[in-house]
Amino acid sequence: MSDKPWDRIWKGAGLVTCEGEGLGLIEQGLIAVRDNEIVWVGAEVDAPRDKIAATPQIVSLNGGWVFPGLIDCHTHLVFGGNRAREFEMRLEGATYEEIARAGGGILSTVKATRAASEEELFAASLPRARDLLREGVTTLEIKSGYGLDLQSEIKMLKVARAIGAELGLTIKTSCLAAHALPPEYAGRAGDYIDLICSQILPRLAEEGLADAVDGFCEGIAFSPDEIARVFETAKDLGLPVKLHADQLSDLDGAALAASFDGLSADHLEYTNPKGVEAMARAGTVAVLLPGAFYTLKETRRPPIETFRKEGVSMALASDCNPGSSPISSLRLILNMGCTLFGLTPTEALRGVTVNAAKALGESTRKGRLAVGMDADFCHYKIGAPADLCYWMSGARPDKVVMGGGEITVL
């Protein structure tokens, strides 16, 4: 152990470390931080007395549980406008696909997002990120995909980065230019894929605006061949990929993502057993999105049992977006993951911590309370870790720590 003194200690609460297979619980734990890193974690009784005595700042938590900072690994929270009218249409019987084919859906948000200035987009999107932060989310993925032209995609991703800077959150961005065919390319999907590969991705990579490349592989979006072209370009640019796969139909999307060593395949309601096996081999995380399943009143659940059997890591995310998942609460998603998909609370909690970190390629820094990890964590005054899944919304964390510093959650 280094001789350097610790900066700060948090003690007097249980720790949900997410180490090992389960939650890695430690009752009466202690976390020590230096700079922005965890330098000691364990049971308080085992902590070195001399180090504790020399630490200038000790926070006593008085019960409750400390979790790794929660991670929402799939969101579309930067967008303009809203789609309340489509909500009403769906209540009257229209389906998501019918609305999309009639020019609504994603394309209506594209129109509003293109029309918004960077400042307007920032002002509209910040509250959604703040909702998540208030629940203890410290790492957040944000996708583009409502711009669908070079300048609008850049605008979205700049806003995503600006949200991170404003709130002190870690933001991972994904370019989702292959989300829908923009109206000016109607009937010319190949040309739009050319635009993505020859201009949008290279420019975003050059400007460091995209940490990963995503796509929507679906009958109402892009074919596996079209997505494969986008992924080839991502590979050439050294960017990892992930995919909206098998949400409404089985197009072998999970296997496609796995064949490019995808960080994750997401949705997966229609994924077949071969796709699950391919994901297991590639270490591709299954990102489950019960908010979209709920909103679209889907009845077919992702193959959870097969994921378990094949040892595929499962993550849970909000999919926060104006159409299929108008939800900015990861707490609600924890409950939905258990109630709608049959995850255990342990699986659900690992799904917004250690496995969500893996889905973002951040396993070495995020998602666990362990030495060497970023000092991101949140403290909830709850009786048991499963309370976060059981109770829908309600109590907020009383402390959120990011990079070793406590932040005021407004």
Instruction: Please identify, using beta-carbon distances, which residue of 106 and 162 lies nearer to ligand NIG.
Output: 106
Cβ neighbors of 373 (< 8 A, separation 6 or more) are 37, 38, 68, 364, 365, 366, 367
Give 157-164's long-range contacts (Cβ < 8 A, gap of 24+). Answer: 157/204, 157/209, 157/210, 158/118, 158/209, 159/78, 159/118, 159/121, 159/122, 159/125, 160/78, 161/209, 162/118, 162/122, 163/78, 163/122, 163/125, 163/126, 163/129, 164/140
Instruction: Please identify, using beta-carbon distances, which residue of 346 and 355 lies nearer to Fe ion.
Output: 355
Tell the smallest beta-carbon distance from residue 97 to Fe ion (Å). 15
Which of residues 139, 271, 284, 321 is near ligand NIG by CB under 6 A? 321
DSSP state of 6: P
Instruction: Please identify, using beta-carbon distances, which residue of 167 and 320 lies nearer to Fe ion.
Output: 320
Instruction: Please identify, using beta-carbon distances, which residue of 216 and 380 lies nearer to ligand NIG.
Output: 216
Instruction: Please identify, using beta-carbon distances, which residue of 144 and 335 lies nearer to ligand NIG.
Output: 144
Alpha carbon 77 to its chain centroid, in Å, reads 11
The DSSP result for 271-305, as a single string, is --HHHHHHHHHHT-EEEE-HHHHHHTT--PPP-HH
Size (the chain), residues: 410
Number of residues that bind ligand NIG (CB under 6 A): 14
Q: Provide the mask over 213-242, with x wherever binding to ligand NIG is found by CB under 6 A and - wherever it is not.
A: ---x--------------------------
Tell the smallest beta-carbon distance from residue 66 to ligand NIG (Å). 31
Given a contact cutoff of 8 angstroms between Cβ atoms, the answer to whether 392 and 335 are in contact is yes
Q: Provide the mask over 111-150, with x wherever binding to ligand NIG is found by CB under 6 A and - wherever it is not.
A: ----------------------------------------
Number of residues that bind Fe ion (CB under 5 A): 1
Tell the smallest beta-carbon distance from residue 216 to ligand NIG (Å). 5
Helix (H) or strand (E) run with residue 86 in it = helix 84-91
* Residue 300, phi-psi category: left (phi > 0), alpha (psi -120 to 50), beta (remainder): beta
Please choose, out of 13-21, 228-236, 270-278, 314-322, the segment that lies near Fe ion by the rule CB under 5 A: 314-322
Given a contact cutoff of 8 angstroms between Cβ atoms, the answer to whether 26 and 14 are in contact is yes
Please choose, out of 49-57, 105-113, 249-257, 351-359, the segment that lies near ligand NIG by the rule CB under 6 A: 105-113
Interface with ligand NIG, residue 109, by CB under 6 A: yes
Pairing type for strands 65-68 and 377-380 reads antiparallel
* Binding to ligand NIG, residues 283-302 (CB under 6 A): 292
Please choose, out of 257-265, 321-329, 345-353, 388-396, the segment that lies near ligand NIG by the rule CB under 6 A: 321-329
Interface with Fe ion, residue 319, by CB under 5 A: yes
Point out which residues bind ligand NIG (CB under 6 A): 76, 105-106, 109, 216, 244, 247, 292, 319, 321-325
Point out which residues bind Fe ion (CB under 5 A): 319
